Amino acid sequence: MMLVTSRGTGRWVIPKGNIDAGLSPHSAAAIEAQEEAGVLGALCPSPLGSYRYRKLRRSGASLMVDVDVFPLAVNDVLPAWKEQGQRDRRWFALADAADAVDEPDLRDLMRSFAPSEFRAAVSRGGMLGTVAQRSGLGSMFGWFQRLLPRTGNFFELFEAHAATVLAGAEATARLLGETGDGAKEHIREIIEREHDADDITRQVLQSVRKTFLTPFDRGAITALIGSLDDTIDEMQAAAAAIDLYEITDFAPEMRDMAAIIVDAARLAAEAMPLLRDIGRNGERLHELTERLIRIEGHADEIHAAGLKRSLQLYGRTDTLRFVTEREIYKHLERIVDAFEDVADQVDGIVIDHA
C-alpha cells in the first residue's frame, strides 16, 4: 500500500482532498492519487468504507472531516507528479501501513483490507509452479503450494484460481485504460490467464472424482470453481470482442466497471483462504460476500448509465458504434454477475458448515 506524507505535519496519510463541482467522489479520489502520490490505475467506484479525522483549517479552527476511501489498483507509478516536491511517497506492507497512520478508523479500515487470516495465507511458502511461471503472479500470491490433486488439496486450487482471476481482472482494467499500443499485450495476457484458470478448474473436477473425503459437498465444490471460472471466461469474451471490433476508446463507465471487477476479484481472492476454517472466519466471509453483492448493484447502475450515454451519443449517428459498445457492456456486466454468483456459493458453504 502506498502512503504519502502530509504537507503540514509530515505524517503518513493516504491521498485525499475535496471534491470539485461536477466530479464524482471516486473520480476526485483518482485525481488526488495522481496529484499527491503520482499513481495511476483502476479505481473502484464503490468505497471500501470511511473514516473521520480532525483537520486544521487556515483560520485556526480544527474541524472534523469525513473521508470516503476507494481502492485503487496501481498500474503505473509516475516518475514526476504535481506534488512531488511537497510530499514523500512510500510503499508499505499492509500491516506496516496501518501502523504508520494516526487515525484509528483508517487503521482499522486498512487492517480489514487484509485481515490476519488472509495475510497468513499469503505468507505460506511455495508457488504454483506452472501458473506462476507462465503468468508471473508475483510474491503477493506466495500462498500457492504445489498442487496435489491426489490428496484432494481443494483449498490450494481455490486460492490458485482466485489469484489467476485477480490477475485477469487487473489485465482487463489495464486493457480498458489503455491509451497506447499495449492493447494486444493485455488481450494476450487475459487469454493466458483464462487458460491457466481452465487448467486449475480441470484439476478440481478431477480431484472431486478421485477424493473420497472432501471438505464440502461435491456439488458445492464444483459450483464454486465453476462460478470462479465464469468470471474469467467473461473477461476473455470481453477481450475478444474488443479485439474483434478494434475498440481503442473506452467510455468512463466501462473503466469504472473494470475497476469494480478488480475489486470484486480482490474480495474473492481474500475469501478463498478463509474457507480453510469456516467456523472461525464465517463472519469475515459474510462481510466479503455482502460487499460483492453491494458492488454488483453499483455496477448495474453504471452499466445502465453507460448504455444510456452511448445511445444518446451514437444511437442516431453511429449505430455500429452503439452496437459494439453495448456488446462490451454486456460482457462487463456478466463478469460482475459471475462474481455475485461466487458470493452466493461462498454464502451457501458458510451457511452449511459454519
Least confident of 32-41, 110-119, 204-213, 224-233: 110-119
Residue 67, C-alpha cell as written in the block: 473521508
Least confident of 4-8, 37-41, 135-139: 135-139
Long-range CB contacts (within 8 A, 24+) of 326-330: 327/241, 327/245, 328/238, 328/241, 328/242, 328/247, 328/250, 328/254, 329/253, 329/254, 329/257, 329/303
pLDDT at residue 278 greater than cutoff 60: yes
pLDDT the model gives residue 242 = 95
Least confident of 3-7, 59-63, 222-226, 235-239: 59-63
Residue 242, C-alpha cell as written in the block: 474488443
**Mean pLDDT of the residues in the chain:** 86
Q: Give the start-to-end residue ranges of the domains of the chain.
A: 2-147, 154-352
pLDDT the model gives residue 57 = 67
- 285-295 residues labelled b (16+ CB within 10 A) or e (exposed): bbebbebbeeb
**Check whether domain 154-352 has CATH 1.20.58.220, yes or no:** yes
Helix (H, G, I), strand (E, B) or coil at 115: coil
Residues in contact with 195: Cβ distance below 8 Å, sequence separation at least 6, in sequence order:
none
Q: Which CATH architecture has domain 2-147?
A: Alpha-Beta Complex (3.90)
DSSP 297-346: HHHHHHHHHHHHHHHHHHTTT-HHHHHHHHHHHHHHHHHHHHHHHHHHHH
Q: Are 2-147 and 154-352 in the same CATH fold?
A: no
DSSP 287-308: HHHHHHHHHHHHHHHHHHHHHH
pLDDT in tens, 68-110: 999 888 889 999 999 999 999 999 998 899 999 998 889 888 8
- Mean pLDDT across 101-126: 66
pLDDT the model gives residue 210 = 81
pLDDT in tens, 197-230: 999 999 999 988 887 778 888 899 999 999 999 9
DSSP 44-111: -SS--EEEEEEEE-TTS-EEEEEEEE--EEEEEE-SS-TTTTT--EEE--HHHHHHH---HHHHHHHH
pLDDT the model gives residue 109 = 83
Residues in contact with 297: Cβ distance below 8 Å, sequence separation at least 6, in sequence order:
none
